């Protein structure tokens, strides 16, 4: 790999595109605002036109033209097949087992893909940094058929030990979910801005299975707070295609344009 | 119980005055949408203290504002932030880190499970989300148990979450407190049912015949009190009426971040600018051009 050539895509774009590629038209996907929303809509606008996107605000089979900044946005409701109440979404769609893929991220992740979005540093009683909290992640983690995790990789976020387990991944290894009577697969992929990891089938410990184009093994190791394992044979990394990049960039450009248009309409505040 | 038709319209001021120091208040909406902001601002103006707030499952910065204004003692919420605007509410973070508020740790459906238990007069509601996490370990009100029938699954028992008041934004309402959402309902009906009394904030008061024309859309029947507050959701969106005010929310994020970082003057000035003598004085500070620029076509055709 010629590392001196300037890549024509950003690591975040690569992360979003790898996440999009993991989705199929037949998936029913629980989408969060941010990178998951970009990835899911990219999939819908490219190889997975029939994917069912569900946002926790209650919108089912939504087809947003722009990416909302917030989960309750009218854009999601107006382009949906149906909008149910939030409790109905959680009870009948999520815990009812009707969602194939849930997307999660977090401030911290450990080697078994457990996530923390509650606090970092100090103790629960006296946290150094209070984080937003669980949101819907704890139930997404147990009720979606499988979970894809998407987050930027770094030593502060990929840690040896979580300060708080907000969402269950593979607990302390193989068999943990089963012991709690949780029958879903849990996290099956962790997609970062550097690589793709999957839990080892024997131990459930996260293992690098592919690195993004131009990323070195040292970079990945240096961005992880534990002794990270690599698969014996890494998959070939496919760079973003021109189509993937143009559809993703158009989506972001439309979103920016919509916000600017609204602000101009409102004139000087 | 007889339900004779009774007019329940009140001014924003009189309605907010019914909420007493120390009470538990559930606040509707979701994310950046459908929050009863005229009532929230009046609660702040009046200086109501020591509230326990039950937030909507994705609480936005309306809760952060109440915290930063010193109205909140205890918070029951699975999330406080505004996603792409602000992943975590700055005042929430400041007050939680310095233990100036108590946080009842939960997930979105643990919150709803508690509301269901309260609304249906049940001792607890069972939910699986949250098993295997630190949440039930650190929230002593949650009890993890083994499914007594299949005997294999861990489940969490969530006790009732009851509120004295629910304050809910509706699209419109009649004078008798029968309101209709003109867009998504989010978790509003569950927040309302878990409360002893319901206060709605409507964009318009409409004749009872409008409500009767489409009873399937009546989401809140028999509210105890209704206020009319056009653009009462600003700076957030009100489904069927207007979008959120992006610039205004960004300004909130800047000022609340300053407060978290110790610049209390910027925050005090923010409160002074936005906590006006009444709702219409507030709308004046926003400006007619700005407000009308937010208008969107109605989501629901009625």
Q: What is the mean pLDDT of chain A?
A: 94
Is residue B153 domain-shared with residue B277, that is, in the same domain? no
Task: Please state the length of chain B.
Answer: 302
| A75 counts as catalytic | no
Task: Give A3-48 pLDDT, tens digit per residue.
Answer: 445 569 999 999 999 999 999 999 999 999 999 999 999 999 999 9
B61 within domain boundaries: yes
- If one counts the domains in chain B, the total is 2
At residue A264, the pLDDT reads 78
Closest alpha carbon within chain A to B33:
A72
Angle, alpha carbons A122-A111-A101 (nearest 5°): 105
Residues near A208 by beta carbon (within 8 Å), at least 6 away in sequence: A195, A196, A197, A220, A228, A229, A230, A231, A234
Q: What is the mean pLDDT of residues A120-133?
A: 94
Q: Does residue B232 share a domain with residue B182? A: yes
Distance (Å, rounded) from C-alpha A100 to C-alpha A22?
A: 12
Instruction: Indicate whether B113 belongs to any domain.
Output: no
- B212 and B181 part of one domain: yes
pLDDT at A267 over 80: no
For residue B95, is it within any domain? yes
Of A69, A74, A133, Cβ closest to residue B79: A133
- B127 and B102 in one domain? no
Q: Could you tell me if B238 and B215 lie in one domain?
A: yes
**Interchain pair A166, B134: CB under 8 A:** yes
Q: What average pLDDT does range B29-48 have in this prediction?
A: 97
Asked if B91 and B34 sit in the same domain, the reply is: yes
Same domain, B74 and B182: yes
pLDDT digits (tens, 9 = 90+) for A83-115: 999 999 999 999 999 999 999 999 999 999 999
Q: What is the mean pLDDT of residues A116-131?
A: 95
Pairwise CB contact (< 8 Å): A259 & B296: no
| Per-residue pLDDT at B99 | 95
The pLDDT value given to residue B1: 47
| Contact check, Cβ <8 Å, B294/A262 | yes
Structural contact between residues B191 and B163, judged by C-beta atoms closer than 8 angstroms: yes
Instruction: Provide the whole-model pTM.
Output: 0.94
Give me the CATH number covering residue B29: 3.40.1080.10
pLDDT at site A262: 78
**What's the mean per-residue pLDDT of chain B?**
95
**Residue B117 falls inside a structural domain:** no
* Residues of chain A positioned with their CB less than 8 A from the CB of B55: none
Measured torsion, CA atoms of residues A89, A90, A92, A98, in degrees rounded to the nearest 10: 90
Closest CA to A22 of A56, A47, A53, A50: A47
The answer on B60 and B208 residing in a single domain is: yes
Domain that holds residue B134: 123-158
Is residue A50 pLDDT above 80, yes or no? Answer: yes
Helix intervals (H) in B47-157? 61-68, 90-97, 108-119, 135-138
| Cα dihedral A94→A95→A100→A101 (10° resolution) | 60
Averaged over B262-288, what is the pLDDT? 98
Give the confidence band of A79 by pLDDT, cuts at 50, 70, 90. Answer: very high
Do B252 and B283 share a structural domain?
yes
Does residue B22 register a pLDDT over 80? yes
Query: Shortest CA distance to B16 belongs to which of B207, B167, B215, B194?
Result: B167
User: Which of B34, B134, B247 faces A165 most closely, judged by CB atoms?
Assistant: B134
Torsion-angle region of residue B29: left (phi > 0), alpha (psi -120 to 50) or beta? left
Question: Residue B198, by phi and psi: left (phi above 0), alpha (psi -120 to 50) or beta?
Answer: beta
Residue-level pLDDT at B301: 47
Q: In this structure, are B136 and B168 located in the same domain?
A: no
Specify the higher pLDDT residue, B270 or B84.
B270
Instruction: Give the pLDDT of residue A1.
Output: 47
* Chain B residue numbers touching A269 (CB-CB < 8 A): 247-248, 251, 286-287, 290
Q: Which residues contact A105 (CB under 8 A, 6 or more apart)?
A: A32, A34, A35, A36, A115, A149, A150, A151
The pLDDT tens digits for B65-100 are 999 999 999 999 999 999 999 999 999 999 999 999
Q: Which pLDDT does position B299 carry in this prediction?
A: 55
Question: Rounded CA gap, A11 and A173, in Å?
Answer: 30
Distance separating alpha carbons of residues B250 and B26, to the nearest angstrom? 25
The predicted complex's ipTM stands at: 0.92
Q: Is residue B272 part of a domain?
A: yes
Q: Is residue B301 part of a domain?
A: no
Dmax over CA atoms of chain B, in Å, equals 62
pLDDT at B275 over 60: yes
Residue B120: pLDDT above 70?
A: yes
pLDDT tens-digit profile of B121-164? 999 999 999 999 999 999 999 999 999 999 999 999 999 999 99
Domains of chain A: 11-268 (3.40.1080.10)
Residue-wise pLDDT for B287-297, tens only, equals 999 999 998 86
Tokens 């009683």 belong to: A125
Residues 6+ apart with CB under 8 A from B231: B203, B238, B241, B242, B283, B286, B291
pLDDT for the residue numbered A265: 75
In angstroms, the CA B235 to CA A190 distance is 36
For the four alpha carbons of A201, A207, A210 and A212, in that order, the dihedral sign comes to: positive
Considering chain B, what percentage of its residues have pLDDT values greater than 90? 95
Same domain, B149 and B170: no
Assigned domain for B5 exists: no
Nearest-by-Cβ selection for B80 from A56, A124, A133: A133
| Residue A1 distance to chain B (closest CA, Å) | 35
Same domain for B263 and B138: no
Q: Mind telling me how many Å the CA of A189 is from chain B's nearest CA?
A: 20
Q: What would the pLDDT profile of A167-181 be if each residue is shown by its tens digit?
A: 999 999 999 999 999
Q: Is residue B169 part of a domain?
A: yes
Cβ <8 Å between B138 and A137? no
Q: Predicted confidence band at B3 (pLDDT cuts at 50, 70, 90)? A: low
């Amino acid at each position: 790999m010629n590392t001196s050539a300037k890549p024509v895509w950003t690591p975040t774009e690569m992360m979003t595109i790898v996440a999009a590629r993991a989705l199929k038209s037949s998936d029913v996907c629980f989408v969060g605002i941010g990178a998951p929303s970009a990835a899911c809509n990219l999939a819908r606008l490219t190889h997975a036109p029939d994917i069912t996107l569900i946002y926790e605000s209650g919108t089912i089979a939504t087809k947003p033209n722009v990416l909302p900044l917030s989960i309750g946005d009218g854009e999601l409701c107006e382009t949906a097949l149906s909008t149910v109440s939030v409790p109905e979404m959680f009870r009948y769609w999520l815990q009812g087992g009707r969602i194939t893929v849930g997307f999660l991220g977090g401030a911290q992740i450990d080697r078994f893909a457990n996530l923390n979005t509650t606090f970092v540093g100090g103790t629960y009683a006296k946290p150094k940094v209070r984080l937003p909290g669980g949101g819907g992640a704890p139930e997404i983690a147990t009720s979606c058929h499988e979970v894809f995790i998407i987050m930027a990789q770094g030593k502060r976020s990929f840690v040896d030990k979580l300060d708080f387990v907000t969402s269950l991944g593979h607990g302390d290894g193989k068999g943990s979910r089963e012991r709690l009577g949780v029958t879903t697969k849990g996290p099956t992929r962790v997609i970062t801005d550097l690589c793709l990891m999957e839990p080892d089938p024997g131990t459930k410990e996260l293992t690098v299975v592919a690195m993004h184009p131009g990323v070195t093994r040292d970079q990945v190791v240096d961005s992880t707070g534990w002794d990270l394992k690599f698969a014996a044979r890494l998959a070939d990394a496919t760079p973003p295609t021109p189509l993937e990049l143009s559809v993703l960039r158009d989506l972001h450009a439309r979103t920016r344009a919509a916000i600017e248009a609204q602000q101009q309409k409102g004139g000087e505040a | 119980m007889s339900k004779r038709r009774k007019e329940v319209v009140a001014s924003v001021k009189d309605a907010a005055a019914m909420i007493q120091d120390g009470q538990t208040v559930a606040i509707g909406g979701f994310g950046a949408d459908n929050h009863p902001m005229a009532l929230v601002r009046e609660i702040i103006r009046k200086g109501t203290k020591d509230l326990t707030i039950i937030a909507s499952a994705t609480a936005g910065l309306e809760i952060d504002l109440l915290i930063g204004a010193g109205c909140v003692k205890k918070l029951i919420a699975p999330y406080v932030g505004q996603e792409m605007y602000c992943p975590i509410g700055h005042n929430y973070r400041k007050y939680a880190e310095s233990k100036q508020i108590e946080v009842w740790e939960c997930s979105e459906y643990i919150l709803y499970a508690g509301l269901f238990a309260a609304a249906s007069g049940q001792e607890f509601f069972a939910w699986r989300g949250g098993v295997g996490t630190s949440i039930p370990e650190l929230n002593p009100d949650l009890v993890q148990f083994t499914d007594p029938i299949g005997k294999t699954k861990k489940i969490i028992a969530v006790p009732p979450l009851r509120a004295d008041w629910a304050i809910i934004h509706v699209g419109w309402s009649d004078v008798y407190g029968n309101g209709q959402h003109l867009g998504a309902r989010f978790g509003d009906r569950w927040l309302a049912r878990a409360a002893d009394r319901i206060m709605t904030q409507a964009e318009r008061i409409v004749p009872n015949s409008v409500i009767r024309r489409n009873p399937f859309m009546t989401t809140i029947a028999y509210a105890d009190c209704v206020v009319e507050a056009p653009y009462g959701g600003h700076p957030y969106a009100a489904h069927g009426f207007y979008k959120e005010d992006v610039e205004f929310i960004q300004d909130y994020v800047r000022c609340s971040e300053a407060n978290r970082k110790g610049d209390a003057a910027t925050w005090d000035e923010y409160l002074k600018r936005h906590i006006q003598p009444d709702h219409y004085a507030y709308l004046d500070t926003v400006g007619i051009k700005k407000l009308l620029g937010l208008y969107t076509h109605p989501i629901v055709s009625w």
